[in-house]
Amino acid sequence: MLDTALAQLRFAASLAFGAPFHVRSMERIVAAMRATRDEFGALGSDANELLAGPQLDDDTRRDIQLRRLRKQTLRALRETPYYERRLADCDVDPARLRWEDIARLPVTPKEVLRDDPDALVSRRRTPFLRATTTGTTGEPASVWFSEREVRAMLALSAMSFMTERLIEPDDVVHVGISARGTLGVMSVVGASAAIGACAHVAGALGPQRTLALLAAPRGLPGKRRRASVATLYPSALGELVEHGVRAGYRPRDFGLRRILLSGEVATAGLRRRCQALFGDVELYENYAMTEIAPFGGTLCADGHLHFEPSTGLVEVLDLDGAGPAAPGRLGTIVATPFAPYRDTTLLLRYDTGDLVRTLADPPTCSLRATPATSAPLGKRALAVGHEHGWTTQRDVLEALEDVPVVPLPARCALSRGADGVEVQVVARSDGAAARAAIADALESRAVPLRRLRIHADRAELVAALPARCDLRETTFDIPAPPTHAAATARAA
């Protein structure tokens, strides 16, 4: 207990002063959290505050963020070839950076991480792992991490999973995201190991195979009889729902307690319709991306996306590039992850290309002390601008996935039409009732629909929106999945 107290002090010092993490202390805290849970059944009620630190008022938060941004900018200028060039032309002294100067710092586009990720690596760090994104909007980007960063991230995710109780020791965790999403896979597997749960890195398989794996009985000592936690892309969950219901699966065929969703827009329609297959399962959604990891967002019960201010600075820039988006306006997330969370690949004002809206009014939710935006609205590259503003992936997907005639995940395409947008969608029927239901749903989401084309086959879609469930991982010879009847017979 005394060694844990010392480890907590070292960790708190890193959080408070931005000093490098002492990874062994973090791992010690994780081990103590597990021991505490084993002994008492749960962590103490103050554990979260102990690890996250106290809530900060606005002035203190801004002061801390500014100091960390100065430090990170100086480091980027001195230690990376890319920022040495970019900041040389920029009329800002990083050491005296003021809040109003931030907009004068250059925005870092995704292309830099696609074309030359090495140019962003600090000369003072030893890179260890090159993690790659899934490349939803083009060629995948890559980011180098040091061994210490990766170990710290694993410890941080274990702390987070344990305090949120997302994974329990008796859980069988099905990792159903692309194995190329190295950091995402490592985080879940590392957290499972720290918690005492077991993880199966199944990868992004087809829905039949995934359903069979989720329904398959397990014989692991001390563990649940079936997969109890799954990490999935929302589109993959949609695919499971569609195929599972059609194949005759029912909630009793599964043991899922929780599904962790990330990487895409998870719609209310998907959440509702997935109950037909998995019953009363808890869906947990967050915002994370390899490029800025471990900086990310947490969705609160009110649907806001909150960002921990000591981890990084988040800005929402107007789509016309004129500066910060005004309250209630659409913009892209521009993020600067801070040390000690990130000190190998340094990124300043990284344009994530992810759309959100700034909040029109201050939040009143439980996380109101941290900066917040709307929930993610999709990729800017996949949104369509028109005379009335912008139509985002979320606008369209929320509408389409709410309509039963549209199979999950909604396969659609979005393009600019005269004075609005044209939507193509795959639906079970193109009759008048289906067409009216889809058009009503789109209009209720304020989509200025000018033309609706309904297809029976997704191959007919022109420029379809990408879905991560299509990132299939195949093998030389995939054995035929057990049938639903066989799986239920084995379970019995």
Q: Which lies closer to other proteins via its Cβ, residue 33 or residue 237?
A: 33
Q: Does 281 bind other proteins (CB under 8 A)?
A: no
Q: Which lies closer to other proteins via its Cβ, residue 40 or residue 476?
A: 40
Q: Which lies closer to other proteins via its Cβ, residue 162 or residue 211?
A: 162
DSSP-based three-state secondary structure for 2: helix
Closest CA to 397 of 432, 373, 425, 428: 425
Q: Does 476 bind other proteins (CB under 8 A)?
A: no
Residues 307-346, mask of contacts with other proteins (x by CB under 8 A): ----------------------------------------
Q: Least distance (Å) from other proteins to the CB of residue 247? A: 40
Which residue has 């600067």 as its token pair?
Answer: 336
Q: Which lies closer to other proteins via its Cβ, residue 29 or residue 333?
A: 29
Q: Least distance (Å) from other proteins to the CB of residue 416? A: 54
Q: Does 221 bind other proteins (CB under 8 A)?
A: no
Contacts of 9 (CB under 8 A, 6+ apart): none
Q: Does 429 bind other proteins (CB under 8 A)?
A: no
The answer to whether 102 and 336 are in contact (CB under 8 A) is: no
Instruction: Classify residue 368 as exposed, middle or buried by CB count within 10 Å of its CB (0-12, 13-18, 19+).
Output: middle
Spell out where 349-485 has E strands.
350-357, 372-373, 378-379, 384-386, 389-391, 412-417, 420-426, 449-455
Q: Least distance (Å) from other proteins to the CB of residue 143? A: 31
The answer to whether 291 and 182 are in contact (CB under 8 A) is: no
The answer to whether 362 and 146 are in contact (CB under 8 A) is: no
Q: Virtual CA dihedral for 402, 403, 406, 408, nearest 10 degrees?
A: 30
Q: Least distance (Å) from other proteins to the CB of residue 1? A: 4
Q: Least distance (Å) from other proteins to the CB of residue 52? A: 12
DSSP-based three-state secondary structure for 424: strand
Contacts of 243-252 with CB under 8 Å at 24 or more apart are 243/207, 243/208, 243/211, 244/207, 244/211, 244/277, 245/276, 245/277, 247/208, 247/211, 247/484, 248/484, 249/211, 249/215, 249/277, 249/484, 250/277, 251/275, 251/277, 251/278, 251/279, 251/280, 252/279
Q: Least distance (Å) from other proteins to the CB of residue 59? A: 25
Q: Least distance (Å) from other proteins to the CB of residue 157? A: 17
- Count of residues that interact with other proteins, criterion CB under 8 A: 22
Q: Which lies closer to other proteins via its Cβ, residue 35 or residue 276?
A: 35
Contacts of 282 (CB under 8 A, 6+ apart): 257, 258, 259
Q: Which lies closer to other proteins via its Cβ, residue 45 or residue 475?
A: 45
Q: Does 456 bind other proteins (CB under 8 A)?
A: no
Q: Least distance (Å) from other proteins to the CB of residue 101? A: 40
Q: Least distance (Å) from other proteins to the CB of residue 43? A: 6
Q: Which lies closer to other proteins via its Cβ, residue 29 or residue 335?
A: 29
Structure tokens at 161: 């999973």
Q: Which lies closer to other proteins via its Cβ, residue 51 or residue 405?
A: 51
Q: What are phi and psi of 261, to 5 degrees?
A: -110, 140
Q: Which lies closer to other proteins via its Cβ, residue 50 or residue 66?
A: 50
Residues 22-61, mask of contacts with other proteins (x by CB under 8 A): -------x--xx-xx-xxxx-xxxxx--xx----------
Q: Which lies closer to other proteins via its Cβ, residue 27 or residue 242?
A: 27
Q: Least distance (Å) from other proteins to the CB of residue 50? A: 6
Candidates 1, 432, 459, 492: give the one binding other proteins (CB under 8 A): 1
Q: Does 158 bind other proteins (CB under 8 A)?
A: no
Q: Does 9 bind other proteins (CB under 8 A)?
A: no
Structure tokens at 94: 């990083």
Q: Which residues face 457 on adjacent strands?
A: none
Q: Does 155 bind other proteins (CB under 8 A)?
A: no
Q: Which lies closer to other proteins via its Cβ, residue 36 or residue 137?
A: 36
Q: Does 491 bind other proteins (CB under 8 A)?
A: no
Closest CA to 155 of 126, 194, 127: 194
Q: Does 3 bind other proteins (CB under 8 A)?
A: yes
Spell out where 253-380 has E strands.
258-261, 282-288, 296-299, 305-307, 312-318, 330-337, 350-357, 372-373, 378-379
The answer to whether 43 and 36 are in contact (CB under 8 A) is: yes
Q: Least distance (Å) from other proteins to the CB of residue 163? A: 9
Residues that bind other proteins (CB under 8 A): 1-5, 8, 29, 32-33, 35-36, 38-41, 43-47, 50-51
